[in-house]
Amino acid sequence: MSGSRVTRVSYKLSELAKSLPEVEFKSYCEKIEELKCNDPLVIDLHLYKSGSDLKKLIPPITRDHLILYLIVERRGSDFEKVEAVNNLLASEQYLTNTFSDKLLAFPLTNGTVIIRSHITHSQTLSAKPATPWAALLSDGKIFAAFCDCVAGLGCSCIHVSALLQQAIAHTKEENSTSSNNVQIVNPKPIIPVTSLPCKWNRPGKGPVSYKF
């Protein structure tokens, strides 16, 4: 790749980006420019947050956001959409095995959060893990997603799906924890009116005298 090609971008790019064909390179760079940050693959891993630091960091992403991004809004053939559906369904297994590394998050000043992880190839365990990344807007919507695997340029490979599933699972876990921490105050029991003592015909406090 020529040096002039790199100078079109204001931010630092990864080797993956630099190796992309012209059309894919342009698309990748447009996303980086819109994010106004260096390529997530070159941001130092020590700058990413993980573990308990993610509690207030991961936007409220849901499965609906995932379906919207991977399938509904996807531009491509019917075959590619079917493939995206298959990847979406298959990626759920990554939440219950050791194929996924810990989730990392890098917050931007505009409220967008970059997430990334290392995902092991389920069919070739000896291969170098894939490194998908995604940008989540503050409302949970997926702005962009890429992966350095062979199918990663389609932005909907199984590794991207697995990464987004991680984020969704983390959000659910956080919501569950928050719900469990809510202190419920027992309300005053409500007693039917018919079970209450009579208030309109109470006996007097002293002897009753009658005049004849």
145, β-bridge pairs: 134
Tell me the average confidence (pLDDT) per consecutive run of 10 residues in the chain, 212 residues long.
57 92 90 95 94 90 90 74 76 68 93 93 72 95 90 72 90 63 49 51 50 50
Residue 142 lies in a domain: yes
- Distance (Å, whole) CA 174 – CA 172: 5
Residue 124 lies in a domain: yes
Residue 3 lies in a domain: yes
Q: What is the pLDDT at residue 7?
A: 47
3-state helix, strand and coil shares in percent for the chain, rounded to the nearest 5: 40, 10, 50
Residue 32 lies in a domain: yes
- Nearest of 74, 80, 72, 70 to residue 161 by alpha carbon: 70
Residue 201 lies in a domain: no
Count the Cβ atoms, other than its own, within 10 Å of residue 135.
Answer: 22
Q: What is the pLDDT at residue 91?
A: 72
Q: What is the pLDDT at residue 101?
A: 81
Distances (CA, A) of 181 to 50, 51, 97, 170, 177: 22, 19, 28, 17, 6
Domain count, the chain: 2
Range of the structural domain that residue 36 is part of: 1-42
Q: What is the pLDDT at residue 72?
A: 82
Q: What is the pLDDT at residue 150?
A: 74
Residue 132, classed as helix, strand or coil, is coil
Looking at the structure, do residues 160 and 85 belong to the same domain, yes or no?
A: yes
Residue 171 lies in a domain: yes
Residue 203 lies in a domain: no
What is this structure's pTM? 0.73
Residue 198 lies in a domain: no
Looking at the structure, do residues 26 and 90 belong to the same domain, yes or no?
A: no
